[in-house]
Amino acid sequence: MSFKEAPISPGNARWRSWIVTGAAVLGVAITFKLGLWQLSRADEKLSLQAQIQAQSNQAPLRHAEALSNPLSWQQVHRPVELTGEWLSSHTVYLDNRNHQGQAGFWVMTPLRWAPGQVVWVQRGWVQRDLRDARQASPVFTPIEDVLVQGRIAPPLLLFVDSATT
């Protein structure tokens, strides 16, 4: 069985040329738009980094200001210095948090820094127990007052499926 190529007429070749040219122009235009999109994302990230840097250069939020101005807690990435006591019985271990290739937990403990005033503190990461995956390494928690230095983190968002509630 042999196949014969259809003869290419001058009109047919012209159409193919226009199609190839149109596809090339469309490809260049799409690539150009994607490049502009990436540059706008870079600008957004640089702007966010500048905002974070500006907040982190502020004076730390301390006891008196935190009590007198509750809105100061909305200044995400601002430094904080509070003295208080750990409420270790309410410590929470957030599971499935990898660190340098090892499975573990983030440790979250509330700190009572004034009567009726509590703030959650992310205290760090602990490795998962190698024998029992549900267990974490023990975390030392002092019982005396401690000075905590950190920064205000953005709030965690919780999405709840209304069909399951």
107-126 pLDDT per residue, tens: 899 999 999 999 999 998 88
Q: How far apart are CA 50 and CA 77, in angstroms?
A: 11
16-31 pLDDT per residue, tens: 889 999 999 999 999 9
Tokens of residue 102, six digits: 């090892």
pLDDT score, position 4:
65
Q: DSSP string spanning 3-16? A: --PPPPPHHHHHHH
Would you tell me how many other CB atoms lie within 10 Å of the CB of residue 73?
Answer: 14
46-84 pLDDT per residue, tens: 998 998 899 889 999 999 998 999 888 888 999 999 999
Look at residues 73, 137, 75, 148 and name the one whose alpha carbon lies nearest to residue 110. 148
pLDDT greater than 50 at residue 165:
no
Please give the radius of gyration of the chain, using alpha carbons only, rounded to the nearest integer.
29
Contact 85, 109 (CB under 8 A): no
DSSP classification of residue 133: T
DSSP classification of residue 136: B
pLDDT score, position 7:
62
